[in-house]
Amino acid sequence: QVYSTASDPDGRCVCTVVAPARNLCKRDPRIRQLRSLTEQVQNVSQSMEVVDLRTSRDLQYVQDSEPLLRGVDGRLHTYVSNPRALTSKGLQELKGQMSQLRPLFTVVEQYRLDLQTLGTLRMELLNLSIILTAIQEEIGAYDYEELQQRVLLLETRLHSCMNKLGCGRLTAVSNPITVRASGSRFGSWMTDAMIPSSDSRVWSMDGYYKGRRVLEYRTMGDFTKGQNFVQHLLPHPWAGTGHVVYNGSLYYNKHQSNILVQYSFHSRSVLLQRSLSGAGYNNTFPYSWGGSSDIDLMVDEIGLWAVYTSIPNAGNIMVSRLDPRSLDVLQSWDTGFPKRSAGEAFMICGTLYVTNSHLAGAKVHFAYHTNTSTYEYTDIPFHNQYSHISMMDYNPRERALYTWNNGHQVLYNVTLFHVIRSDG
């Protein structure tokens, strides 16, 4: 979380905020390190249990063999002091007792191996102690759970601050944060852009063609691990990757049509279907990467949007604000930017931002402001780590960009420029 303030030439206060992704602490590399340490401790513990069980069993065997050993020892002392006492019958009995004691060789050998194992475990525990000491020095005297609670409190305060700041203009995109590598080359993933921050469910939709399976994960941590999910099977297949979850519903483009569908996760049913009049579909006007990305649904601080184009618009990007309850078009803008030349696009605070490519070396290079119906060319680079982005959406609740990059689910934080006007 980075704050900076300055005054412009007119004396206005300028405030810059870098908004972090929600639950960024859970993706801290130290979490993975601690998880690895926990697994090592469990392995050492299991090894200790095996050695302990085997030692207890062997010790009992030695104790049970002690009378036999004493008997053999007495006979040997007798025969050494008086060789004439060794008879044929006594020799056979001695051989029989020695044969009963033969397993002791194996037990003693196992003891020797266990000593080596204990030496190895001792070194592992020493290494674990050194690593844990280093982590403790890095983290400090705080309990990690306490630290996490403090981070969550700070995030809540930060979001409250950002909500007061209102909308801003994009000035920078952070380095990528790879959350997970899963699925095929194309797909989409998202969190709800409107529901309270206490609901941290994550949805994943693999592929762009005729898909119907939506996976719902309980938390970002569960999504990262690929566990604790439920499946929704949509009644109508989707097209493209321009889906969005808004206020508990999934909004998506129905396969081989310009029909928009609202699907409720709560009722597991379709609430609404409506045609986006004139919008191209079925790879008529996709982004440069193709993938039936003709209609791209988005959400920002203002509401629900559709980005698409039509033949009357000569393939230029259209931006329409939609009513989420009826999917009626409230207002539309012609940006003049050819959609097939765009890599991907996203909305922030009523401004459409367009990337110049879906491949490596991409940057945000065009912005259309719906509040003034004006556009500008920008030069905002970002690291396209896996070189093929097929989905890029902004989440206003988290102030972060969600991307699907060549089978990797990646987050970017954004820097927004805010001008705060004050009396006096």
Local confidence pLDDT in tens for the 424 residues of the chain:
344 556 666 666 666 555 554 455 555 566 666 767 777 777 777 777 777 777 777 777 777 777 777 777 777 877 787 877 778 887 787 777 777 777 777 777 777 777 777 777 777 777 777 777 777 666 655 566 777 788 778 777 766 666 666 678 899 999 999 999 999 999 999 999 987 767 889 999 999 989 999 999 999 999 999 999 999 999 999 999 999 999 999 999 999 999 999 999 999 999 999 999 999 999 999 999 999 999 999 999 999 999 999 989 989 999 999 999 999 999 999 999 999 999 999 999 999 999 999 998 899 999 999 999 999 999 999 999 999 999 999 999 888 999 999 999 999 999 888 765 554 4
Q: What is the pLDDT of residue 203?
A: 97
Give the per-residue pLDDT at 142: 56
pLDDT of residue 21: 47
Enumerate residues 6+ apart whose C-beta is below 8 A from 298.
Answer: 242, 244, 304, 305, 306, 307, 345, 346, 347, 393, 394
CA atoms 204, 35, 2, 154: torsion sign:
positive
Per residue in 345-380, is it b (16+ CB within 10 Å) or e — as a string? bbbbbbbbbbbbbbeeebbbbbbbbbeeeebeebeb
Could you tell me the fold of the domain covering 170-417? Neuraminidase (2.120.10)
Q: What pLDDT, on the 0 to 100 scale, is given for residue 26?
A: 53
The letter for the amino acid at 19 is A
Give 289: exposed, middle or buried? Use CB within 10 Å, 0-12, 13-18, 19+: buried
Instruction: Give the pair of three-digit tokens for residue 288.
Output: 């440069």
Residue 164 pLDDT: 63
Say what the pLDDT of residue 179 is.
Answer: 93
Report the candidate in 231, 235, 245, 230 with the shortest Cα–Cα distance to residue 270.
235
List of residues 6+ apart from 14 with CB closer than 8 A: 5, 6, 7, 8, 417, 418, 419, 420
So what's the pLDDT on residue 424? 42
pLDDT of residue 199: 83
Distances (CA, A) of 192 to 17, 105, 195, 200: 22, 67, 6, 8
- What DSSP state is assigned to residue 306? E
- Are 263 and 281 contacting, i.e. CB atoms less than 8 angstroms apart? no
pLDDT of residue 197: 66
- Per the DSSP assignment, residues forming a β-bridge with 205 are 188
So what's the pLDDT on residue 2? 42
pLDDT of res. 397 = 86
What is the pLDDT at residue 144?
A: 65
